[in-house]
Amino acid sequence: MTGKMVLDPRDRGGAAQPLLIARSLKKYFPVKRGLFGRSSYLHAVDDISFSIGKCETIGVVGESGCGKSTLARVLLDLLHRDSGELIFDGEAVGGLGGLSHRDFCKSAQMVFQDSYASLNPRLSIEETLTFGPVFHGMKRGEAKDRARGLLNMVGLEPRRYAGAYPHELSGGQRQRVNIARALSLNPRLLVMDEPVSALDKSVEAQVLNLLIDLRQRMALTYLFISHDLNVVRFMSDRVIVMYLGQIVEFGPAQSVFSQAKHPYTQGLLASRLSNNPDERIESAPLNGDPPSPIDPAHGCRFASRCPHVEDVCRTRTPSLPDMTSAESHGVACHLSDLGSGHSKAIQ
């Protein structure tokens, strides 16, 4: 997975120490129901724990509204978490004596889906790329040299593009600029929220290959969100499957895609395979919509759509095993827990 890993000179804890550990992260949005209604909470990220190894790519999949973007923002401390811990290369993020937001920000950056909205239309590409480094104290001349280096690195000829403005570029070129900007502070972690979803297929492939190349050249670690399972399979070492604010399955990409254990993951894969007549569908594709994420009921959140639902699913909440080992494949489902009381449980 992490193969011949070349460690970053800033590394603290060695290859075995995860780059980022997320522990019991929660982000609830308050929602008001009616004029005098009691306050309710939308459970966007609901007790999520996992770790990202150094130079690893973790893919995140799940239907619209399951909390992928909220998780990305909470992971980067762009959105304040209600509770939980973030540990970056052994150091707590935030809190007294922890890594400051400013320092964490230099080490962990985000790339968004909308390449145009992410860029300031009034700044040239060079100004866009020098802004962050100058803000963080780099001399302007040095920042300009760095910007040109970054443009080269993302495949945009500096002489042609440094003075250009966002509207003069194609979607793929703008996304290359966004990637260069994310790299301008020399981060170790990039969180990418649907970075290629707005691009044509041929441009998408070029940008994905660029990301793979950059990851190797700069010893980067990626968290890659996409609703496209094929893209996630292509990019990721491990995959997180999210449903209604929680992780329902997590494991090596190869294992999750070929031996999905959660009926939700099986449904997602079947929905994808059903587009391809050559691939056999063994499980039912997903039907219906997820229930409301506002004050979700006890029990398994997938129970209302699950073809294997039994009473135990509505009364007991299945838990995900501790996901600290890189090789393990975990699932939060009573079917995969022999002692759960589900009549079809296997291990």
Ligand X SMILES: Nc1ncnc2c1ncn2[C@@H]1O[C@H](COP(=O)(O)OP(=O)(O)OP(=O)(O)O)[C@@H](O)[C@H]1O
Q: How far is the CB of 113 from ligand X (least distance, A)?
A: 8
Report the SS3 class of residue 260: coil
Q: Residue 66 binds which entry of ligand X, Mg ion, none, with Cβ cut-offs from 5 to 8 Å by kind?
A: ligand X
Applying the rule CB under 6 A, the residues between 30 and 49 that interact with ligand X are: 42, 44
By Cβ distance, which residue is nearest to Mg ion? 69
Give the residue with the Cβ less far from Mg ion, 69 or 109. 69
Indicate whether 26 belongs to the interface with ligand X (CB under 6 A).
no
Q: Which two tokens stand for residue 146?
A: 């760095």
Q: How far is the CB of 182 from ligand X (least distance, A)?
A: 18
How would you class 90 by CB atoms within 10 Å of its CB: exposed for 0-12, middle for 13-18, buried for 19 or more?
A: middle
| CB distance 55 to 223 below 8 Å | no
Interior angle at CA 72, CA 8 and CA 86, nearest 5: 60
User: How far apart, in Å, do the first and last CA atoms of the chain sit?
Assistant: 25
Q: Does the protein bind ligand X through residue 195 (CB under 6 A)?
A: no
Question: Looking at beta carbons only, is 192 or 306 nearer to Mg ion?
Answer: 192
69 binds Mg ion (CB under 5 A): yes
> How far is the C-alpha of 299 from the C-alpha of 332, rounded, in Å?
11
Map the footprint of ligand X across residues 56-85, applying CB under 6 A: 62, 64-70
Amino acid residing at 39: S
| Distance separating alpha carbons of residues 201 and 163, to the nearest angstrom | 28
Minimum distance from residue 178 beta carbon to ligand X (Å): 17
Taking CB under 6 A as the rule, which mask of x and - marks residues 225-264 in contact with ligand X? Answer: --x-------------------------------------
Q: Which is nearer to ligand X, 31 or 92 (CB)?
A: 31
- Least distance in angstroms from the C-beta of 83 to ligand X: 17
Length of the chain: 347
Cα dist from 334 to 107, 136, 262, 317, 345, whole Å:
39, 49, 9, 8, 7
- The binding site for Mg ion (CB under 5 A) comprises 68-69
- What residues line the site for ligand X (CB under 6 A)? 29, 42, 44, 62, 64-70, 227, 293
